[in-house]
């Protein structure tokens, strides 16, 4: 494990620790005293149960300062991710509810981005975290000439995706900043599902996206959380802050960060009842990079500290509430 000396977004060294005494700050803390059903060679689980959440005093990004070393990462990353985050759908027969949900989400994403001409003259598409491949199949059905590819962490969704789009179109990945190994090296449309939040080095991830995106292509970033909105809920991160989340972006930090990586950005997140949703969808095209602006670090710090207080109340109060509900049921 190593500790970052610079902000992963703007490189500032002006960093502030958010929690000075709270050790159970991520989802691995609940696993420390439990026997795991598999071995984790070279991985010190108790050490990684503390993420050391910091805030950058320049750009106001909240991030985990403690990060796993690259050596051996691929040997444990997908397996621990599945177990810790309780992704029980990765079975030989995928649950129908999972398939139905992914099919619905695929149609919704396609409907969100189609009006912006993303597929105009596009000949190729790659999706990062494609799941069972419904989005690839939907995109190809709507655009028959489209050459589609997908990357997926879990073997059973990947196997299902192969039945939809072809055996040679789906790759298994095991790292948070993967690069496709297909014969095709560039793509007109690159679609990434909730990747920036997970990246150990978000600048490397964005550079990878830029390298494989054609000069006139579109990068679609979706399912990135606006933590200014999600952390206001008492029940957010009920198991603790996700160990696999390394940056707690908000719209105020996410959009400038993507711009700093050499993209022009359009937020197309669909408003509901006049309010922006907590999940962000961005359309990005190559452009000159911009420096990260100064953000409101004080507000971001108060937000995470407030969430911690609410989370603590929720953790201790939920068993009592559940007991009362059982008594009156």
Reading phi first (left if > 0) and then psi (alpha if -120 to 50, else beta), residue 273 is in left
User: How far apart are the C-alpha atoms of 174 and 150, rounded to whole Å?
Assistant: 14
User: How far apart are the C-alpha atoms of 225 and 221, rounded to whole Å?
Assistant: 11
Query: According to the model, what pLDDT value does residue 318 have?
Result: 64
| Of the candidates 266, 282, 252, the residue with the CA atom closest to the CA atom of residue 9 | 252
Distances (CA, A) of 145 to 138, 139, 172, 250, 295: 12, 10, 24, 36, 44
Phi (first) and psi of residue 265, to 5 degrees:
-125, 140
DSSP string, 298-328: HHHHHHHHHHHHHHHHHHHHHHHHHHHHHHH
User: How far apart are the C-alpha atoms of 5 and 160, rounded to whole Å?
Assistant: 42
pLDDT, one tens digit for every residue, the chain (329 residues):
999 999 999 999 999 999 877 766 899 999 998 888 888 888 899 999 999 999 999 999 999 999 999 988 999 999 999 999 999 999 999 999 999 999 999 999 999 999 999 999 999 999 999 999 999 999 999 999 999 999 999 999 999 999 999 999 999 999 999 999 999 999 999 999 999 999 999 999 999 999 999 999 999 999 999 999 999 888 888 888 999 999 999 999 999 999 999 999 999 997 777 788 999 999 999 999 999 999 999 999 999 989 888 888 887 776 665 565 566 55
Q: What is the CA radius of gyration of the chain?
A: 20
| Of the candidates 267, 261, 265, the residue with the CA atom closest to the CA atom of residue 288 | 261
Query: According to the model, what pLDDT value does residue 17 have?
Result: 93
For residue 186, the tally of other CB atoms under 10 A from its CB is 14
DSSP string, 109-132: HHHHHGGGTTTTT--EEEEES-TT
Both tokens assigned to 141:
């059905």
User: How far apart are the C-alpha atoms of 79 and 67, rounded to whole Å?
Assistant: 17
User: How far apart are the C-alpha atoms of 138 and 130, rounded to whole Å?
Assistant: 12
Query: According to the model, what pLDDT value does residue 328 have?
Result: 57
CA 294, 270, 209, 15 torsion: positive or negative?
Answer: positive
For residue 2, the tally of other CB atoms under 10 A from its CB is 11
């Amino acid at each position: 494990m190593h500790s970052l000396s610079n902000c992963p977004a703007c490189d500032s060294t002006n960093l502030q620790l958010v929690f000075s005494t709270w050790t159970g700050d991520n989802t691995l803390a609940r696993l420390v005293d439990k026997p795991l059903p598999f071995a984790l060679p070279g991985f010190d689980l108790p050490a990684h149960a503390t993420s050391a959440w910091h805030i950058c005093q320049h750009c106001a990004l909240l991030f985990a300062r403690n990060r796993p070393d690259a050596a051996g990462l691929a040997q444990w990353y997908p397996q621990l991710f599945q177990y810790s985050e309780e992704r029980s759908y990765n079975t030989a027969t995928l649950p129908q509810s999972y398939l139905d949900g992914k099919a619905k989400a695929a149609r919704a994403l396609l409907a969100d981005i189609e009006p912006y001409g993303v597929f105009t003259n596009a000949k190729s598409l790659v999706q990062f975290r494609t799941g069972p491949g419904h989005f690839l199949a939907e995109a190809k059905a709507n655009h028959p000439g489209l050459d589609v590819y997908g990357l997926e962490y879990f073997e059973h969704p990947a196997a299902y995706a192969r039945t939809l789009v072809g055996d040679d179109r789906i790759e298994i990945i095991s790292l948070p900043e993967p690069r496709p190994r297909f014969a095709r090296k560039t793509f007109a449309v690159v679609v990434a599902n909730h990747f920036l939040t997970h990246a150990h080095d978000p600048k490397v991830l964005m550079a990878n996206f830029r390298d494989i995106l054609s000069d006139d292509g579109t990068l679609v970033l979706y399912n990135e959380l606006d933590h200014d909105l999600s952390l206001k809920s008492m029940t957010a991160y009920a198991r603790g802050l996700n160990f696999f989340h390394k940056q707690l972006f908000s719209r105020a930090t996410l959009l400038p960060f993507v711009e700093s990586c050499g993209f022009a950005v359009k937020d197309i997140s669909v408003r509901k009842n006049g309010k922006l949703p907590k999940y962000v969808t961005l359309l990005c095209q190559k452009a000159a990079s911009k420096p990260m602006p100064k953000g409101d670090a004080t507000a971001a710090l108060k937000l995470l500290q407030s969430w911690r207080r609410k989370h603590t109340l929720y953790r201790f109060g939920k068993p009592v509430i559940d007991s009362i509900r059982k008594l009156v049921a």
